[in-house]
Chain A
Amino acid sequence: MTIASAAPRPLGTAALTTLGDSEVVASYLAGERRAFDVLVDRYQRRLINFVYRTIGDRERAEDLVQEVFIRVHRHLHRFDQTKKFSTWIYTIASNLAKNELRNRSRNPLVLFQTIRKDSDQDSRPLQFEDRHTRPDDLFRKRHLRELVDWAVTRLPEHHRIVFVLRELEGKTYEEIAEITDCNLGTVKSRLNRARARFAQVIGPWMD
């Protein structure tokens, strides 16, 4: 066998796209630069939607997802390849989204626009809310899609991240726990509260 024939043949882009995440990552780390494009192709849309649903600002979501890929690029060589890549990249995105929400909550204007600060939501007992507490301008927003979008923005920050990961990204409880660095009990509790709150917000328009 010649040295030339022993050298690994570069995969075509089409072949790269058929590989699993861990193989694409390994391929990139082995010097196949195009593999990073495959990761971007694979995750850009999902992450933009995840961050957009979480922070409610599409343009900013794109900025943050760019930052996600920059960080992935910088730290990929340190990524533990025995772990799931999707969990890792969602963790980075989730942390950036969380920081964004925190920064926004510190902004007096945004704080004023935020209906409820969520720091004490975990300890509050679950109960039905007053069905008549609905903003006047939302009477006009009959469309279900607008309504559910709006309802997501009404969820407290850490409940919203869990809610979006479960309802829109289809993550398991275990994955959510890893992404958000919480235990399973906290994930269950936050998801439960988020769903109940979501249903309570849209409930008055369902009758």
Chain B
Amino acid sequence: MTCSDFLHAYSEYRDGLLRDPAAVTAVEAHLKGCPTCARLARAMAIGLSALRDTEDVAPSRRFRTELTHRLRAEVAIGDPIAPTHAGLAAALLLAAALGLLLYESVVRPEIAAVVRSEAIPVDTRPYAPALTDVTLPAFTHSALQFHSQQIPLGSYAAFTR
């Protein structure tokens, strides 16, 4: 076995993955007879052992604090369920409002005239008396409430219960 052969086989030999008994014997014989490869094997053994003995670094306080903030932000914008429902709620709300406006313009044209004379009322009641029964802010509120139930805003886990 040449030194080059030894270098190619030694790593697997170290891990006990050299299955061929003849190859194992050849590696061991080379190790005994070649000071250069024996020196390399010794350096590898001491070095790898020292490396495994080095202490782990601990996560800094900054790490967990920042991660918690980032996860919180992720949850606030990225919950796959809540935004879909909120969007659906908003679409339903808009459809209901438009439907009511259409209804009023047909059934109660005098009110529709008032409505048309101003910007489309969403949250300004005096110009849209017919919309008072719709309880638009409450509907929005309930949608937001659903949203907030789905999205924890405090410590990532603590605000979920």
Contacts and interface: CB of A to CB of B under 8 A. Distances in A.
B64 to A, nearest CB: 7
A177 to B, nearest CB: 13
Contact of B63 (A13, A44, A49, A148): A44
B28 interface: no
A195 B47 CA distance: 10
Contact of B11 (A33, A36, A168, A196): A196
Interface stretch (A61-69, A82-90, A97-105, A110-118): A61-69
A199 B44 contact: yes
A151 B43 CA distance: 12
A33 B52 contact: no
Contact of A66 (B15, B17, B43, B67): B67
A125 B43 contact: no
B36 A144 contact: no
A19 interface: no
- The 4 tightest CB contacts between A and B, nearest first, are A33-B160, A192-B11, A199-B44, A34-B157
B7 A126 contact: yes
B47 A148 contact: yes
Contacts of B50: 144-145, 147-148
Interface residues of B toward A: which range? 35 or more
A167 B12 CA distance: 13
A73 interface: yes
Interface string B123-161: 000000000000000000000000000001000110011
Given A62-B62, A196-B10, 5 more contacts: A33-B156, A34-B157, A58-B57, A126-B7, A149-B51
A193 to B, nearest CB: 8
Q: Which has the most chain A C-beta neighbours within 10 Å: B17, B39, B59, B156? A: B59
Interface residues of A toward B: which range? 35 or more
Contacts of B59: 44-45, 48, 62, 65
A74 B80 CA distance: 9
A167 B156 contact: no
Contacts of A40: 64, 67
Interface of B: 3-4, 7-8, 10-12, 14-15, 17, 36, 39-44, 46-48, 50-54, 56-60, 62-64, 66-67, 70-71, 74, 78, 80, 152, 156-157, 160-161
Contact of A128 (B3, B78, B152, B161): B3
A26 interface: no
Interface of chain A: mostly helix, strand, loop or mixed:
helix
A65 B54 CA distance: 20
A113 to B, nearest CB: 22
Given A34-B157, A36-B156, A148-B54, A44 B64 contact: yes
A149 B56 CA distance: 12
A199 B57 contact: no
Contacts of B157: 13, 33-34, 36-37
A198 B28 CA distance: 21
A125 B14 CA distance: 20
Contact of B4 (A62, A74, A127): A127
Contacts of A44: 59, 63-64, 67
Nearest to B4: A126
B74 A74 contact: yes
Contacts of B161: 10, 33-34
